[in-house]
Amino acid sequence: MKPALLPGSLWAVLAAVFLVLPFAQHDYLLGIGLSFLMWLALTQSWSVLSSMTGYISLGHVVFYGLGSYTVVVSWQQLPLWVSIPLGGLLAAVFAVIVGLPVLRVRGPYFVILTFGLAELVKYVLLAVEAAMGVSSRLLFGAPDLVQIYWMMLSLAVASTALLWFVHHSRFGHGLKSIRENEDAAETLGVPITRYKLWAYMLSAVIPGMVGGVMALRSTYFEASQAFDPMISINMIVMALIGGGTTAMGPLIGVAFLVALSELLWTEAPQFYMVILGLLLVIFVMKLPNGLLGWHEARRRKHGRAAL
Amino acid sequence: MGVLDVLFSGQLLFAALLTGALYAIVAVGLNMVYGTMRLLNVAHGDLVMIGAYGAYWFFTGFGLSPLAAAPVVAVGCALLGLVLYRLLFAQLLRTTGNPVQLEARSLLLFFGLSMVIQNIMATLETATPRAYQYLEVVYRVGGLAMTGNRLAALLVALAVCIAVALFLRFSVFGLALRGVIERPDAARIVGVNVERVHWVSVVLGFGVAGVAGVLVSMMEQFSPFIGFPFTIAAFIVIILAGLGNIAGGLIAGLLLGAIEVYGVALTSPNWRSVLLYGIFVFVLIVLPKGIFARRGRA
């Protein structure tokens, strides 16, 4: 695999920008940076399962929500350096428990099943919270934006590194063989059940921790927001716009959608959703391999024309 | 009132029948579109929503009764289906050979369409729920009290389901449709015009979904975002009943309606969505091949 589109220098520049950003003392910019890092962390994690294996999860918000809930429930009882990783751990445990039955379901049924599962967990939590007489929980004395930013930066770096390592590992090649032809992969001795379960678990940990950190940012918790299906949909659209299985694809998609949502989300949320929907339609119909795939196809065509 | 009185009340039975008939009529259209083309139409519930607003516009704008508006709304939804078929579905079917890939792509495509439809409606009509009052007269039979709109909705839903089931059972088109569902390649070889079956299924399916929306709007308030639970319910119904099995869909719809209504009566309305999504997850996991079980045998 030639890393023509993955210049290390770009990542270095990006890292430098994000390392300097907090010192600019500019809350608005820092907020945008935070949302960029959050989506990067989520989408890179999502890719570990979905781009690699082709099992498209439309319910990754469930891990985010569980992490959020963990931090909120243990607020002022556990220190954050315990509760945030605990959120990630619980998300991973949940992934392992539901993973075995859920990952047996293939193709589009897997997609709608993950969606249904996330909604099920959301409604169970809503019903439980209502039965306990809690409608929303507030967090008092949450850390300030700069601290939250540093936590998110480390999660984004961890998530990107995770995808990089999986992409270049033997394990990653196994996952890609599942995507190309699961039955053939199994026949050739790829332990598909174990690999899929590992991928599912690995892709759950960081979203769980991201959810915990974002609970600190919003300083309150409401199940319908922490489990908002839009979070899952955003991840898919971002990955789909970028395309490919490398860490570069999500980066392109995240940059594009964060800019778009910054322009439209607060001013005209419904218009933003219409645009998002149209993007899905256009990319599925015209560019199913994303911008990265389109670029590579063009390069190949031009390369051949030159010969 | 004790638990047993609740369970044996005619009121609850009526509610279960009504919910079930609604689920069945919503599922009819999804069954045809999914069955013949393998397009996973997650925007199906949004057509129900469009139908509801259509009836509302005719009622508030022209004073037209929803039952009279139903055919007009059905034609409108059918035309929308035809346009989408020409613009998107036909191309998607042509360019994607592999059925698994087709289903995954169609799912994302319809998800995008669903977001577009919901948010255009939310821009036009705001997200505030709407409702209107129609046929609120109460009929009493023994201890059972039914409002006219609910009774009418039940009868229309059952009539439409039975009519579609009979049409597909006894017409030549129905035979072609079942052929396309079971063996699309074989159907083409024996001379079935597969493309025509496709677009007629879209037109019929979308039209019936519009009628379902009219019925919903007669009884309940609705917002641009009511569609998705209907889609989920319709998926449960067609997975339980099997592709192309409209009569089975009626039974599965009634079963789902009964589970939901009696389940909520025994717990609380907070658990309604838990129950619906719970059944959905359960059905998908326990029947992991879902509807494909049939294809595997063939």
Instruction: State the best of A284, A286, A287 to mutate against chain B, taking most chain B CBs within 10 Å.
Output: A284
Residues of A in contact with B107 (CB under 8 A): 108, 111-112
Contact B42, A108 (CB under 8 A): no
ipTM of the prediction? 0.86
**Which residues touch B34 (CB under 8 Å, ≥6 apart)?**
B40, B41, B238, B243
Q: pLDDT, tens digit, for every residue of B105-141? A: 788 899 899 999 999 999 999 989 999 988 888 888 8
Residues of A in contact with B41 (CB under 8 A): none
**Which residues touch A228 (CB under 8 Å, ≥6 apart)?**
A61
Of the pLDDT bands very low, low, confident and very high (cuts 50, 70, 90), residue B292 is: very low
**Best-predicted range by mean pLDDT among A5-9, A139-143, B25-29, B182-186?**
B25-29
Tokens encoding B15: 């509610």
Q: pLDDT, tens digit, for every residue of A35-90? A: 999 999 999 999 999 888 888 898 999 999 999 999 999 998 999 999 999 999 99
Average pLDDT of A203-207? 97
Beta-bridge mates of residue B263: none
Average pLDDT, chain B: 87
Q: Tell me if A274 and B119 make a contact (CB, 8 A cut-off).
A: yes
Distance of alpha carbon B243 from alpha carbon B178, whole angstroms: 9
Distance of alpha carbon B280 from alpha carbon B265, whole angstroms: 19
The one-character DSSP state at B288 is T
CATH number at residue B178: 1.10.3470
Q: What is the predicted pLDDT for the residue at B295?
A: 44
CA distance to partner chain B, nearest, from residue A106 (Å): 8
Share of chain B above pLDDT 90, in %: 52
Residues of B in contact with A105 (CB under 8 A): 284-285, 288
Residues of A in contact with B88 (CB under 8 A): 281, 285
In the predicted structure, residue B85 carries a pLDDT above the cut 60 = yes
Distance of alpha carbon A184 from alpha carbon A180, whole angstroms: 9
Of the pLDDT bands very low, low, confident and very high (cuts 50, 70, 90), residue A305 is: low
Distance of alpha carbon B234 from alpha carbon B225, whole angstroms: 16
Residues of B in contact with A277 (CB under 8 A): 111-116, 119
Residues of A in contact with B104 (CB under 8 A): 54, 56, 107-108, 111
Share of chain A above pLDDT 70, in %: 96
Chain A to chain B Cβ contacts (< 8 Å): 110
Distance of alpha carbon B104 from alpha carbon B111, whole angstroms: 11
Q: Tell me if B270 and A131 make a contact (CB, 8 A cut-off).
A: yes
Average pLDDT of A93-104? 94
Taking the Cβ of residue B31 and every Cβ of chain A, the question of whether any pair is shorter than 8 Å is answered with: no
- Domain coverage including residue B216: 3-297
Total of domains in chain B: 1
Of the pLDDT bands very low, low, confident and very high (cuts 50, 70, 90), residue B294 is: very low
Q: pLDDT, tens digit, for every residue of B235-267? A: 889 888 877 788 888 888 999 999 999 999 888
Task: Look up the pTM and report it.
Answer: 0.86
DSSP secondary structure, B145-161, as one string: EEEHHHHHHHHHHHHHH
Average pLDDT, chain A: 88
Instruction: State the best of A106, A111, A112 to mutate against chain B, taking most chain B CBs within 10 Å.
Output: A112
Average pLDDT of A238-261? 85
Taking the Cβ of residue B92 and every Cβ of chain A, the question of whether any pair is shorter than 8 Å is answered with: yes
- Could you list the beta-strand ranges (E) of B101-171: 138-141, 144-147
User: What chain A residue is nearest to B286 in terms of C-alpha separation?
Assistant: A101
Of the pLDDT bands very low, low, confident and very high (cuts 50, 70, 90), residue B2 is: low
Q: What is the predicted pLDDT for the residue at A307?
A: 46
Q: Tell me if A108 and B104 make a contact (CB, 8 A cut-off).
A: yes
